[in-house]
Structure 1
Amino acid sequence: MAANPITVGFDLDMTLIDSRPGIKAAYEEIAARTGVFIDAELAITRLGPPLERELANWFPAERIAEVGDLYRSIYPQVAVPPTPALPGAHEAVAAVRRLGGRAVVVTAKHEPNAKLHLSHLGIEPDAVVGWLWAEAKAEALREYGAAVYVGDHTGDVRGARAAGAVSVAVATGPCDAEELRAAGADVVLPDLTAFPAWLERYVVAASGEVSASADLA
């Protein structure tokens, strides 16, 4: 194990998992149960922010808490089974472990449902923290000492920067590479398949900086 093992944070939706099929099915079920129209195809193009922000487009404020509870209750049966891992997800977590590090998932999703997704797909991070969005993600990233945070949304970039972590963005979600760079991402990758090679280069470079500092002391 490395003398100073790295901790890497990962977002969940559209970073580690392609949650569009499952979330689409969940919205369609909510629409069927409530009789309220939801454009599920549109909703899944803007994943990232907390559920309640999307529900506000379809329900009056006084119903959002009730519908949110309904959504979360049906989610394990409706949304988890059809949701696949994104390419490179397993390998990205394995790359952190191979370097002696820790992988922590920090997501805006309801934490129990986030854990169900990971368990269903056989992705085993060292910790999972839910209910955190954008800058609030910095709370968990700082708590676990994350040096790097990987996400697909500009909100993830803001969370990484608020935590003082390197922001690695993957263009697999609603934000394209140009938008992620404009938000301040330090690194933009097409997807997670490119992450293990980047991480190895990053750790080698970081080790070199530590050695150089030690020589100068």
Structure 2
Amino acid sequence: MRFLLVEDNRDLAASVKARLSMDGHGVDVAHSLAEAGDCLQAASYDLILLDIMLPDGDGRDFLARHRKAEGATPVIVMTARSAVSDRVDALDTGADDYITKPFDFAELEARCRAVLRRRGGVAQATRTFADLVFDQMAATLAVAGDLRDLRTREMRLMELFIAAPGRILSKEHLVDRLFSFSEPVSDNAIEVYVGRLRKKMLGSRARIETVRGLGYRLTETPE
């Protein structure tokens, strides 16, 4: 998944980015609303983490403009304001969730997972396709009952494929979803991660098919 973090406290931003990157997410950081607007013009995101008090304005105004422009990206508001009225105001403006600073990283990660599950219409952490059972919380893939552990990038790649079985996903799309602007990406990075995921899927009827010149798609071999 690719996140946009809008936070002017550089130490906090660096810590949050490092923690989410460890989970395999691509995280772009904006230290102002102007930078956040530039990021939204240049890329699409699965989730926005938005501070309220920023040097060039109020994050709630940014959120209101984003929703008015029919921006559907889920937003978690992060702020030191803890009054009920502040939380209600943020939610009424269009936030999907709210977390008060200082927060525990484990709680932030859990809220991110919950918002993304709700956005995808998935109540559970597991997804199935053919004889695969993908557990996002445990970072495992079960092939006909045989449990295999997934590394962070393998897990994020599996999330993309299993959310859109049969759909062709281009290399450009996969790079955009897995990496941030600041991460160096080699020409064969996607091939490497697809190859690793294919090994974890050995023995399954499901397979990641290469569509020459277009990308990859998750398909099923008939029994």
TM-score (normalised: structure 1): 0.35
The higher-RCO structure (CA 8 Å, 6+ apart) is: 1
TM-score (normalised: structure 2): 0.34
Larger proportion of strand: 2
